[in-house]
Amino acid sequence: MTPATEPDETLFLTSEECAGLATPAEYVAAVREGYRQRGHGAPAAPRTTLRNDDPPGMLTGYTAILPETGAMGGYTYAAGFGDHDAHFMLPLFDADSGAPLALLDGASLNPFKTGAAGAVGIDALAREDATTLAVIGSGAQARGQLRAAATVREFDTVNVYSPTADHRESFAATMNERLDPAVAAVASSAAAVEDADVIITATNSPEPVFDGDLLETGAHVTAMGQYHPEKHELDATTIERATYVPDLRERVTQDAGSFIHAVEEGVVSEDAIHAELGEVVADEAPGRETDDEITVFDSGGTGIETVAAAHLLYEAAREKGLGTPIEFSPASQALTGE
């Protein structure tokens, strides 16, 4: 299909237009490629968060350049303040010319790109024969994580726990309609983690959501709720027992709460960072080396999956003739001084 706009036009894509443009498997493939490029040196910076007390809220951003994809950009989002909500803006630029390609309303793609990052971590670090999955959390991010994870392993059992019974039961019912594995709500995190080959934590809890002593040998954990030094979904025991792989090494001492807490507890040092996920994906560092090894992927959110997902949606939108052309003036024209 011939694109409705020329490649040199900038598109605005609404959240509704972004929804449904790519499957979970397509998100995972794009994000995996982004991390492979990161493993070979593609630039990416950890998040910067500015917090405000009155009105309470935060402004956050992070960026990445994916040279082989031909795109760069990142997220800027505001949460709280007087609106008591969150709004995601995602600018996408051409990596060769620097020209703006698109501005996306990033809300609807967020669980899919974050879920894809988690799935890339599972694919790189979990045992190939993993069949039992535990999900702790039942919100939109947990749904995105589960849908993506199901594209990289053939799970036959999924156990989900969240503190509110109605939430976990609704989650299980919805996911049972969308996925082949049997999804069941369980009454405790311990019940979910017991005998699980893969555990996903997708919560906003400031405290550990399961006991690391319960992890079976050979288990893999993907944790995505650790983007603040005081948030630690995983306890120090889990970090101590595991081969620890973050999305960005530079992010770890800044806001990877579980790792920071484990260092403060004295059970690990910064030398316990095994490698970045991109290094594993690019075969620059080993991933899992034994079936008995416990592995952790700490997915706090980066521009890598953001840019990879945005470019995927931009290309799909152009093929379908979606989006509204908008204009940006280059500095050579706009910086007139008049």
Structure tokens at 50: 């500015």
Where does the pLDDT of residue 334 fall: very low under 50, low under 70, confident under 90, or very high at 90 and above? confident
The string of pLDDT tens digits covering residues 272-303 is: 999 999 999 999 999 999 999 999 999 999 99
pTM, full prediction = 0.94
3-state secondary structure (DSSP) of residue 9: coil
Q: Which residues pair with 13 in a beta bridge?
A: 104
Query: What are the phi and psi torsion angles at 330 (to 5°)?
Result: -65, 155
Radius of gyration of the CA atoms of the chain, in A: 20
Q: Which residues pair with 63 in a beta bridge?
A: 45, 74
Where does the pLDDT of residue 8 fall: very low under 50, low under 70, confident under 90, or very high at 90 and above? low
The predicted model gives 45-66 an average pLDDT of: 95
Beta sheet of 294-298, edge-to-edge order: 182-185, 157-161, 132-136, 198-201, 220-223, 294-298, 242-246
Name the DSSP class of 233: S
For the cut 50, the answer to whether the pLDDT of residue 148 exceeds it is: yes
The predicted model gives 113-119 an average pLDDT of: 97
Q: What's residue 225's pLDDT?
A: 74
For the cut 70, the answer to whether the pLDDT of residue 337 exceeds it is: no
The predicted model gives 328-338 an average pLDDT of: 80
For the cut 90, the answer to whether the pLDDT of residue 4 exceeds it is: no
For the cut 80, the answer to whether the pLDDT of residue 6 exceeds it is: no
For the cut 60, the answer to whether the pLDDT of residue 305 exceeds it is: yes
Q: What domains sit in the chain, N to C, each tagged with a CATH number?
A: 10-110+303-334 (3.30.1780.10), 125-298 (3.40.50.720)
Q: What's residue 333's pLDDT?
A: 85
Share of the chain above pLDDT 70, in %: 97
Structure tokens at 125: 């670090």
Answer whether 85's CB lies under 8 Å from 61's CB.
no
The predicted model gives 311-330 an average pLDDT of: 95
For the cut 80, the answer to whether the pLDDT of residue 124 exceeds it is: yes
Q: What's residue 298's pLDDT?
A: 96
The string of pLDDT tens digits covering residues 168-219 is: 999 999 999 999 999 999 999 999 999 999 999 999 888 999 999 999 999 9
Q: What's residue 338's pLDDT?
A: 63
Q: What's residue 3's pLDDT?
A: 41
The string of pLDDT tens digits covering residues 233-262 is: 999 999 999 999 999 999 999 999 999 999
| Closest C-alpha to 229, from 10, 105, 47 | 47
For the cut 50, the answer to whether the pLDDT of residue 66 exceeds it is: yes
Q: What's residue 2's pLDDT?
A: 38
Q: What's residue 290's pLDDT?
A: 97
The predicted model gives 52-66 an average pLDDT of: 95
The string of pLDDT tens digits covering residues 84-99 is: 999 999 999 999 999 9
The string of pLDDT tens digits covering residues 133-147 is: 999 999 999 999 999
DSSP secondary structure string, 282-310? TTSS----STT-EEEEE----HHHHHHHH
Virtual CA dihedral for 295, 300, 303, 304, nearest 10 degrees?
10
